[in-house]
Amino acid sequence: MEKLELYKPNQLIEIEGQPLTTQGVLAYNFLLHKFQQEKSDKIIINLSEIFEALEISDKYEDLSIYLDSLLNIKIRSFDKKGKLWGGFNLLSEFKKVDNGVFIAIPPTIYSALCGTEKEKELYYTTLKLLEQKSFKCVYTSVFYELFKKYEKINIPNFLLDDLKKITGTINKYSEYKDFKRYVLNKSLKEINKFDNKYEYSFEEKRLGKKVNEIKFIRADKNIIDVAEPQISDKLLNSIEKAKKNRFVDDSYSQKAMEKLLQKYDEKDIIKALGELYKYNSEIKSFSKILTAKIEDIKNSKMAKIKENQGYTLGREEVETPLKIDIIEPKKSEEIEPLDKLLEKLPIKISKTDYEDLYNAYLKQIGEQHNPYLRKAFDLANLNRFKIGE
């Protein structure tokens, strides 16, 4: 039993009406683990196995209290847009039988529990059930599961009202100071004492004078004076939105995202994610397709800059004269010939001198000759000089 683990569907975390006793949460997690093992939505468990696993009394009456609380909890789950995702009970049936206790779960939960290995990797949170038995605060398990869910990415900000829904305290702590003292502070203190890897804290965000949002902060206990790379809230929201597209969700890679953040501007990544959200084909490589989108965005921005300067690659005509700094060029060895040319050139110059001036200009801006640059140069300078033979 020491290595007992459960893949618990993420949609069963962050739901309204979650059982709020530590033993109740442990009992439910243990049951889900058994359903996964048996690969069935109906099982019979030996009573002594449950009593031993959860370290509770050997009275069926005590166990029935936990099971009855699970049976009577109605779950209404909402997506990030606030729309109803689904509704179900945590258990659909339980009863004592001769050889133990018969328990059944709804089809929704069973389908989520028994997905493919790929689905488990993408959608499930691994929980070490026996670890939670050390928690004394009834809300600690809720936050423990929440932090486990976001262990590989930044924890998003939560509205205070949403946290009260998750912990079932909407009608219990009307004053924020009480919620902070008995829910947030107690839970995080227990988790930090227990967790050997991370240290958790939180910041309060206010709307006017009232606290309306909580930002959780995770720090690695094993890293000293090295800040963990953080993804901004805006980018995190863009990632979450893009992952609503199943093709993006199936291929998403956090490592690839971290590498792209080191290479590209965050604004371009956010815009690329917005375009990727509309993608309707299988994605073989998240990194490659997002990189391609970002490069397209960068190239488009560069084309607009060049167009505003007076030329657009691929067009035969130049609509706006290019503004060329010829009269007061920057002083450097590379453009010294241009300085000398300007000093000696009169208003009337020969074709040869004009070509020398053009070549000096190309050297100044570090470009090779192309017909569009030449047209822009001519438009800016033909009315400045009289070209003779």
Higher pLDDT, 122 or 42: 42
Residue 187 and residue 160 in one domain: yes
Residue 9 and residue 99 in one domain: yes
Domain boundary at 200, 228, 256, which?
Answer: 228
The structure tokens listed for 103 are 């328990």
Q: Is the pTM of this model over 0.85?
A: no
Q: What is the pLDDT of residue 4?
A: 67
CATH number assigned to the domain comprising residue 4: 1.10.10.10
Higher pLDDT, 34 or 304: 34
Q: What is the pLDDT of residue 343?
A: 55
Buried b (16+ CB within 10 A) or exposed e, 193-221: eebeebebebeeeeeeeebebbebebeee
Residue 303 and residue 317 in one domain: no
The band of 118, judged by pLDDT with boundaries at 50, 70 and 90, is low
The band of 158, judged by pLDDT with boundaries at 50, 70 and 90, is very high
Q: What is the pLDDT of residue 336?
A: 46
Higher pLDDT, 185 or 315: 185
Q: Are 183 and 139 in contact (CB under 8 A)?
A: yes
Residue 109 and residue 155 in one domain: no
The band of 230, judged by pLDDT with boundaries at 50, 70 and 90, is low
Q: Please report, as a single letter, which amino acid is at residue 318.
A: V
Residue 221 and residue 274 in one domain: no
For residue 141, pLDDT over 50 is answered with yes
Residue 27 and residue 98 in one domain: yes
Number of domains the chain contains: 4
The structure tokens listed for 139 are 């809300």
Domain of residue 157 covers 136-228
Instruction: Give the count of beta carbons closer than 10 Å to the beta carbon of residue 123.
Output: 14
The band of 225, judged by pLDDT with boundaries at 50, 70 and 90, is very low
Residue 73 and residue 121 in one domain: yes
Q: What is the pLDDT of residue 311?
A: 44
